[in-house]
Amino acid sequence: MSGIFGLKEQVALVTGASRGIGRAIAETLAEAGCDVAVTSRNAEESRRVAEEIGRARSVRTVGLRADVSNQESVRGLYLQLCTWSSDRLDILVCNAGYPMRPEIWNTPLHATPPAKLAAWYQEVFNTDALGSMLCTFEALPLMMSKRGGRILYIASTPALEGYRGAPYTMAKAAVLGLMRDVAREYGKYNIRANALALGNIRTPATFDQLDKAGQEALAAEAPLRRWGAPEEVGKTALFLVSDLSSFVTGQVLVVDGGTVRR
């Protein structure tokens, strides 16, 4: 795969990569020849996943802890990354997101408890939007100095069409705004920025929280009549950070089985 995609021995950082979609993206990039830094809030899980990916695919890996909503934590993450990679970063995947909490996801704005209003919106925004910005802020100087890089942001279809879970919708919509600004401003440095808007992807954080009727109802939303797999997100991510999409930047690619058609 490395010859096809042009990623052999490039350095990728994937946030929120110890499980689910983030892990699938990290595994796919490693399969394509990337050296991969795996991050999550849990240092032990990050190290374990990095070791498993490295052994399985014979690439260099490192597992690091980071809270992307905290500027000092992100700065510390990049200091460790630069030591490990000799100041190289070719690919950044901003995947870390606030945990899916049904009470937030399923509560429309008017029904939000007043005592929780600010906290719900701020907590989701800090992880999804602010976290993506902080990681991008640290990545840009590394990419600008080498005059090249790819940044991929993980958003969701509610950012395009809306949903009742407004805290998540607002945060992911902000991520798309960040992506467009980065693509416009830093293209002159040969830095490309794109985003994935994900629909129903089968992970423990989503699929397993539903009863059978709920699982089947969401599967039926898509023309393909099923949930997506994390590995399918990984393959799409690979396209957007590889040479196959070398003239694509500032775009949102929907991965949802055809529910949103644009």
- Cite the active site residues: 168
How open is the CA angle 35-39-42, to the nearest 5 degrees?
140
Query: What stretch of H or E contains 147?
Result: none
Q: Taking the CB of residue 177, how many other CB atoms lie within 10 A of it? A: 11
**What strands, in cross-sheet order, belong to the sheet with 252-255?**
61-65, 35-40, 11-14, 91-94, 149-156, 191-198, 252-255
Question: What's the farthest any 2 CA atoms get from each other in the chain?
Answer: 55
Q: Quick check: 136 and 151 in contact, CB under 8 A?
A: yes
Phi, psi of 138 (to 5 degrees): -80, -30
